Structure 1
Amino acid sequence: MKTEHVMIGVSMAAALATLPLTALASASNAALAGLTITEAPRVTQTIDNRVVSALGNTHLSMLDSLAPARAVTDSTPMNHMQLVLRRSALRTTALSQLIAAQHDRSSPKFHQWLTPAEYGRAFGVADTDISAVTSWLISQGFKVNGVLANKMQIDFSGTAGQVRQAFHTQENHYIVNKVSHIANASDISMPAALHSVVVGVAGLNDFRPQALHQQPKIAQFNTSSQRFKIQLAPGANTRIGGAPAPMVNFNGGVRGFAPYDMQTMYNTSPLYGSGVTGKGITIAVVEDQDMDVSDWPNFVSQFGLGGYGGTFKQFQPLLSPDTGNCTDPGGNSPTGESIETVLDSEYATAIAPGASIWVATCNDAGSSNFFGGVFTAASNLINGASRPNVISASYGFGEGFTDTPSKTAIDMMWAQADAEGISVFVSTGDSGSNPSFNGSIINGRPAIDANSFASSPNDTSVGGSDTADVLDGTSSKYFNTTLNPVYGSAKSYVPEITWNQSCGNTRAAKDLIHGSALQFCKNALIYDPQGDYVTSESGSGGASSVDRKPAWQRIVHGAAKDQSRDLPDISLFAGSYGGYSSVILCTGAYPCKPNFSSPVVLEGGTSLSSPMFAGIQALIDQGMVSAGGSVNQGNAAPTLYELARNEFGGPAGSVPSTLAACNADNGSGGTSQCVFHNITDGGNATQCVQLQGQTTTDCYFYGTIQNLQGAGQAKIGLTSSSATKYDKTTAAFAAKAGWSFANGLGSVNTANLLSAWKSFNGL
């Protein structure tokens, strides 16, 4: 039933009786001592449906230039939308102060983490205001499924017709990049009396972030060459929107990295001998599809990880009381599983073999929310009774594909995780300076953007690196020619460059043609007139257009002199130029057998980098507990930047000798005493195109392809901050000493990182 007036005088008790509100914590927390968190209700006027106004930026502005294919029928279900609430300025300031204090060693609130209920009581919207909003939703015919413990989100369901009536916006079908989507055509409007406590609705469109892995490759091991031979499927798609054809053919086969190789490169192995394996620490990987549960024990057995005591479980994280927003997405079978889920779970274990791995999955179809199952899984964990120590999310989409309520919900979610002590790691993306084009080519959009899932100041964003040995011809220095009993070959740390599979790879250009990336691309255009090798595949980085730069990101040499939250913070191996190196997966369809007697899957992407760093954090967490510290560390980034300042120097003044000493180019001998391997060579400027009828900005065009992969005439270029000049000052983005948009602070020596982390915390 729809009414013209909803009076605030409705008793709070009656309103709360309709929802499963989570009870407040009864015990006090030292972290909240001295904080001013009491406030009066902000909804103080009668809620009148005749007095409405728009909430700005509550639709995707990128759709304004597109004609809808058709309207969504009124009967279409809109399930588990999230009404995103707006906390008061007082509580916003108090939360920022608390999180800063939780990371300040000199504060009595240092590492004093909150429960979800404590968080909601201190920093959520007041119960009376929640009661007013939920009463209005019910009056519009919506079903209110529940209020999250954080008191910042109301889960509700209805139909497209109810959305149109209540929020004064039409849900339409749109075709974007040949894919059909649902989205609201305009900003929503709602009673003006509620504006002070409502940001908007997350879940009015279905533009969800995508898994950030490469196209998986099936490969057969050759015992003579100790390499894998890629088995290309007949008719494999190499056209625009699909996986690019390999630019380099390795006739002798390609390299498959085992967990041993990652452990050796990032120096985790010495910690295992001292008992630091991640034992007692829980890593949750959040997903929207299941995996075959037989994969994980097969992986552990194949690579000799069974003696460390790690555990695995796959489940759907539910709220208490359950709102019904997380259902099993399915896929627990060899043919239906998600490669992303397999990759995340196996390579978190590869680094932290003693940790408990939670594969938390929720169904996209069970939620209309913008981020679907991945967002729901993470949010439910963070608001749940049983929470992990570490979360890895290997998904993303650019901020240009994200409406304000959805972006607000993401940032609130990661801030809550930080306040609870959960360390969150998010992949930055696999398509260079715009993370929205994984597996395709940047086109028809600004070529520079940042992953909206990673650009919160309360998570640690993880970019992608590549080993330099193949291009440099130094593989024999860093790798054995014969695999060891656990299928590894790495001898030590290997110099790293930015992962970039396009002709924009400056290190490839220097080594292969002794020239610039621009000349390399122009040369490639001569030999590739159809654009079959054009790709944007590269580790992503960029500046947020939404979130401001946190104070800790300003303190290190090389920090961008902007006001934006910049990505990435850190990098680990993600892939290689030409596709020569990948990690080995054990899947249901291609299980690992002794000596790889049958085909396996080779994989990469920043989807690999994030769970590996989650594994590193699990080692840090256990090491801190062993030294008498807190089991939870919260957001890792503030500590990482403080430690990097010790090696790289500050944003101004002279730099220490360790800036040069810790250059990744120095290899294992030169960087053995360093915490960071500062990646200074390469960059993630990649190819971008402009097809007829499109506009692609932030792209320096250097040529034209008459029929790009069968899609018609296209201008082709490299991602750049200038449309008229392309060099290392405009390329988006070049690696450099200190922090960079290409690789953040670089990669890490984990044993040294743990030692420095302990020292930084006075242990």
Structure 2
Amino acid sequence: MPSHLPIKALVIALGFATAASVYATSTAEDNTAIAGINTTEAPRVAQTIDAKILTTLPQSHLPLLTRTASTGTVADNTAMNHMQLVLKRSALRQTALEALIAEQHDPSSVKFHRWLTPAQYGQAFGVADADIAAAKTWLISQGFTVNGVYPNKMQIDFSGTAGQVKAAFHTQENHYTINQVSHIANASDISIPAALRDVVTGVAGLNDVHPKAMHIPPKVAQFDASKQKFKVKQPATAAASSIANPEAVSFTGGVRGLVPYDLAKIYGVEQLYASGLTGTGITIAVVEDASMVPGDWDNFVSQFSLGSYGGTFAQIQPQATGFTNCIDPTIANPGEDGIETLLDAEWSTAIAPGANIKVASCDDSNGTNFFGGVFTAATNLINGTSRPNVISASYGYGEGFTDAASKTAIDLMWAQADAEGISVFVSSGDSGSNPSFNGSVIGGAGVDANSFGTSPNVTVVGGTDTADVLQGTSKKYFSQILNPAYGSALSYVPEIPWNQSCGNTLAAKSMGFATALAFCKEYLKYDPYGYYITSEAGSGGPSSVDRKPAWQRQVHGAAKDQSRDVPDVSLFAGSYGSYTWVIICTASYPCTSGFSAPVYLVGGTSLSSPMFAGIQALIDQGLAAKGLPASQGNAAPTLYALAAEEYGGATGSTPPSLETCSADNGPKGTGKCVFHNITTSGITTQCIQQLPGMVTPDCYFYGTVNNYLGFFGPVQVGLTSTSATKFTPKTEAYATQPGWSFATGLGSVNASNLFTAWKKFINVP
């Protein structure tokens, strides 16, 4: 759902004394936000609902199924639980909502930070009660069970069978294999009675392609006190265990495991701790499809001496009003850990150790919900009575893997969160220019963006890597001996985009190659079976669905397109050669004093998002201490306004700070900067194509593996590029540049400087 926030409004600030009454926290009785807004309208279902007079809803099945063969039909008696009939608001109400959200982010407006409740949101901007009643009556007439209507009046939760779906929506549910995983999905676009077409967008949950976690599979490592490094334990049987590692860096002496102290030091968080800002009083919810052992969080807090900050932990299964569509994903295995879940919980705490962490987890299985547990957890929180200040969602998949109704449901959910004042952070993805290939290689698909994050009402967080290893400057930025907090970082460290492929320009140069393309061609000689071909990198790209919001147009470097582009910002996610990771404490591998026992090392943009959520919690606490609302809504409009001051606008001359704030300048050069502008290397990764069955657009092919992985036969290998005929810095998908880029967005931040600039932006002393 596009949002058009006026640029001018974003740079207006009022005097604090004048605006004091404006900043009062919104409550259930506060109607300031909707005062003067008249969205009264007549019912739009004006005709008798006739099941014989139908209309087809375009793009209501997965677009990738046009090139995917079915492996069989789904039995008619197969349960399809907790699907969502996604409703469509009128143009009047859509325009009014966009205008309100703009005012909620405008410091000069009386509606600035006047957030809505779910009930207020539904009453003013949902679908009329009469139209909802008509849709419910039709669903019931088709044999479905209507479980309930959400307070937002934009979703009807209902259950049935595959046979009822076939009869009511005129589509067959089939089995498919997608990315080597079995799924079910509707084979064609659905049809509904024409009388409902003005109020129904479609059905979310006709397929079970869910957003996936964005982390690197964890590695078991043992600390070597003599070398002050971790030694990764290799599996006893690995596919490529007998093949020499051809990556540019060989870490025979061990690898680096970062801890909370390190990231707080690198990103200027420790200065906020010194001023008393630790996230106290702020609630961060991490939305998940798996649960964790609560003792893991306690172990993490204890290991890294975070207990004195007073943070809390709770694990919940948020429910919709009046019905149950969320159960504990690990109810059958109470001792089981979800790695994604504990990564999010522990590392949001690592940055905001005083915050209240809520793990909101819902099971993915068809027995409880069909659209996916992460969506269910998030939408239930947003429509609930106890809403968080911040949400982190470290999940995703490409828009090419998302049907139109599901994408609309996601965007509607995040717009509601924004209007309620919830700051939402979403991981950009872990596979370069297409986020759907985490852990594999881009093939059969081109440039794409994370469908879960391209809403203009959320802030998308990409991934970076520290540049010190490839530049040979580690001794300058890291101590050789761990301190009592197990940390080693000495200051901010220059960053590059996280990119583990031979497309990493800095890695290529460190090996003496002029270009990544030359490096990749040489690399292939030492990897005849393609074991080290990878697309593992922070993701970025343009949306093919959502339009570019006005606030994203205002900064130097912004892509001159009409698309919502991601990421917005970035933080550490991983490293070339897998040298630098973060440590997590798990039930299987608990943290012990001195790391006497093995631990898990992990990374990915699933780390970046909860860390930025932690930074937002620190900012929220600081503003609340000034008498302002603790909730800030979507952070992106403010971030871009601040970046425009530092990098310059989309047109005109650029200020000296554009060059000064380059991450390459290190801690002294960027000491006064809000953003670290990352201008070296990019997220261009490898991609593959196997003709005739797999055709991969947006890939420049430079070679062939004769028998891919010793099994699949000939496969072409390339680098992601917007041109199939040439590979240049302008066609790479994608390189960094001064200002904003698809590789890392606005770059990373100094949290202390960000807080100072944020206060100045809204004219708070």
- TM-score bracket for this pair, using the shorter chain length: over 0.9
Farther-moved stretch of structure 1 (508-517 vs 566-575): 508-517
Q: Secondary structure at the match of 2:365?
A: helix
1:284 aligns with 285
Does the 8 Å contact 1:204/1:369 carry over to 2?
no
State the secondary structure of the residue aligned to 1:31: coil
Task: State yes or no: 1:337 paired with 2:337.
Answer: yes
- Relative to structure 1, the CA distance from residue 245 to residue 410 in structure 2 (aligned partners, 3 Å threshold; closer, same or farther) is farther
Q: Which residue of 2 aligns with 1:351?
A: 351
- Say if 1:286 and 1:392, in contact at 8 Å, map to a contact too: yes
CA pair 389-197 structure 1, distance change in 2 beyond 3 A: same
**Map of 1:93 onto structure 2:** 95
Over 3 Å off, 4+ runs: 25-28, 236-239, 244-249, 331-335, 366-371
Cα distance in 2, alignment partners of residues 633 and 317 from structure 1: 22
The aligned counterpart of 2:695 is: 695
Q: Is this contact kept in 2: 1:738–1:745, CA < 8 A?
A: yes
Cα shift at 1:527: 1.1
Q: How does the TM-score come out when normalised to structure 2?
A: 0.94
Question: When the two structures are aligned, how many residues end up with a matched partner?
Answer: 733
Q: Contact conserved, 2:248 with 2:507, CA < 8 A, in 1?
A: no
Output one character per residue of 1:336-371: Cα deviation in whole Å (capped at 9) or x when no partner: 211100100000000000000000000101567664
2:141 to 135, 139, 142: 139
Q: Distance in 2 between matches of 1:415 and 1:510?
A: 43
**Displacement of 1:628 after TM fit?**
2.3
Question: With CA pairs under 8 Å and 6+ residues apart, which has the higher RCO, 1 or 2?
Answer: 2
Secondary structure of residue in 2 paired with 1:64: helix
Instruction: Note the alpha carbon deviations across 1:150-178, whole angstroms, 9 max, x for none.
Output: 00000000000000000100000012232
* Structure 1 contact 334–588 (Cα < 8 Å) conserved: no
Which amino acid in 2 is paired with 1:179?
V
Aligned-partner residue type, residue 474 of structure 1:
T
* 2:56 corresponds to which of 49, 54, 57: 54
1:336-415 equivalence runs, <5 A: 336-366=336-366, 371-415=371-415
Q: Structure 2 vs 1, CA of residues 335 and 220 (structure 1 numbering), >3 Å: closer, same or farther?
A: farther
| Other-structure match for 1:11 | none
Cα deviation digits, residues 470-489 of structure 1 (max 9, x gap): 00000010010000001000
Asked if structure 1 preserves the Cα contact closer than 8 Å seen for 2:80 and 2:366, the reply is no
Q: Which runs of 5+ in 2 are unaligned?
A: 1-26
Tell me if structure 2 keeps the 8 A contact 1:399–1:452: yes
Query: Are the aligned partners of 1:206 and 1:368 in contact in 2 as well (CA < 8 Å)?
Result: no
Match of 1:592 in 2: 591
2:23 match: none
8 Å contact 1:278–1:619 — kept in the other structure? yes
Distance 1:453 1:406 in 2: 10
Whole-angstrom CA distance in 1 between matches of 2:246 and 2:484:
33
Corresponding letter in the other structure for 1:330: T
Q: Aligned with 1:81: secondary structure?
A: strand
Contact 1:465 1:496 in 2 (8 A): yes
- Could you say what secondary structure the match of 2:314 adopts? strand
Specify the alignment match of 2:482 in structure 1: 483
Give CA deviations for 1:211-252 in whole Å, capped at 9, x if unaligned. 00001100000000000000012113569xxxx997743110
Query: Match of 2:373, SS?
Result: helix
Which residue of structure 2 aligns with residue 6 of structure 1? none
CA distance in 2 between partners of 1:450 and 1:119 (Å) = 28
Q: 8 Å contact 2:326–2:369 — kept in the other structure? A: no
Q: What are the superposed Cα offsets for residues 545-603 of structure 1, whole Å, 9 maximum, x if unpaired? A: 00000000000000000000000000000000000000001000000000000000000
Q: Distance in 2 between matches of 1:502 and 1:253?
A: 20
Q: Following the alignment from structure 2 to structure 1, what is the Cα–Cα distance between the partners of residues 483 and 69?
A: 59
Contact map agreement 1:541 1:566 (CA 8 A) in 2: yes
Q: Offset of 1:56 from its aligned partner?
A: 1.0
C-alpha contact 2:81 2:370 (8 A) present in aligned 1 = no
For 1:148-163, list aligned pairs within 5 A: 148-163=150-165
d(CA) in 1 for partners of 2:367, 2:680: 43
User: Is it true that 1:727 corresponds to 2:755 in the alignment?
Assistant: no
Alpha carbons 1:208, 1:370 under 8 Å: kept: no
Partner AA of 2:737 in structure 1: K
Gaps of 5+ in 1: 1-24
Alignment RMSD (CA, Å): 1.4
Specify the SS of the correspondent of 2:67.
Answer: coil
Q: What does residue 713 of structure 2 align with?
A: 712
Relative to 1, partners in 2 of residues 1:140 and 1:520: Cα closer, same or farther, differing over 3 Å? same
> What is the CA distance between 1:691 and its match in structure 2?
1.7
What is aligned with 1:758?
759
Given the alignment of the two structures, is residue 70 of structure 1 paired with residue 72 of structure 2, yes or no? yes
Q: Deviations over 1:305-330 (max 9, x none)?
A: 01000000011011222x21111111
Aligned counterpart, 2:604: 605
The one-letter amino acid paired with 1:119 is Y
Match for residue 664 of structure 1?
663
Amino acid at match of 1:672: G
Q: C-alpha distance in 2, partners of 1:26/1:257?
A: 43
CA distance in 1, matches of 2:231, 2:604: 20
Q: Relative to structure 2, which stretch is displaced further, 710-719 or 38-47?
A: 710-719
Cα distance in structure 1, aligned partners of 2:360 and 2:157:
19
State the Cα deviation string for residues 436-494 of structure 1 (Å, max 9, x = none).
00000001122x10000010000000000000000000001001000000100000000
Structure 1 counterpart of 2:61, one-letter code: H
Whole-angstrom CA distance in 1 between matches of 2:90 and 2:581:
48
Cα offsets for 1:111-138 (capped at 9, x unmatched) = 0000000000000000000000000000
Q: Within 5 Å, give how 1:18-57 maps onto structure 2.
A: 27=29, 29-57=31-59
Give 1:477's aligned amino acid. K
Residues 275-296 of structure 1: CA distance to partner in whole angstroms, max 9, x if unpaired? 1000000000000011111100
Distance 1:452 1:438 in 2: 14
> Are 2:461 and 1:462 aligned?
yes
Would the alpha carbon gap of residues 246 and 607 (structure 1) be closer, same or farther in structure 2, given more than 3 Å must change? farther
- One-letter identity of the residue aligned with 1:75: N
Q: Is 1:549 the counterpart of 2:548 in the alignment?
A: yes
Partner-residue secondary structure (3-state), 2:198: helix
The aligned counterpart of 2:683 is 684
Which residue identity does 2:275 align to in structure 1?
S
Letter in 1 for 2:236: P
SS in 1 for 2:445: coil
Which amino acid is 1:588 matched to?
A: A
- Which whole-Å CA distance do the structure 1 matches of 2:139 and 2:164 have between them? 10
Q: Name 1:293's counterpart in structure 2.
A: 294
Q: Which residue is 1:122 aligned to?
A: 124
Q: Tell me if the contact between 2:63 and 2:402 (Cα under 8 Å) persists in the aligned partners.
A: no
Are the structure 2 counterparts of residues 747 and 313 from structure 1 closer, same or farther at C-alpha, using a change threshold of 3 Å? Answer: same
- Give the corresponding residue for 2:9: none
Q: Hey, what does 2:259 align to over in structure 1?
A: 258
Tell me, in whole angstroms, the C-alpha distance in 1 between the residues paired with 2:688 and 2:646.
39
Partner of residue 110 from structure 1, selected from 109, 112, 121 = 112
Give, as a single letter, the amino acid of the residue that structure 1 aligns with 2:348.
Answer: A
- SS, match of residue 465 in structure 2: strand
- The CA deviation string for residues 642-693 of structure 1, in whole angstroms up to 9 with x for no partner, is 0001100000111000000100000000001000000011100100000232
Contact 1:173–1:180 (CA under 8 A) maintained in structure 2? yes
Q: Quick one: which amino acid aligns to residue 416 of structure 1?
A: Q
SS in 2 for 1:461: strand
Between the aligned residues of both structures, percent identity stands at 66
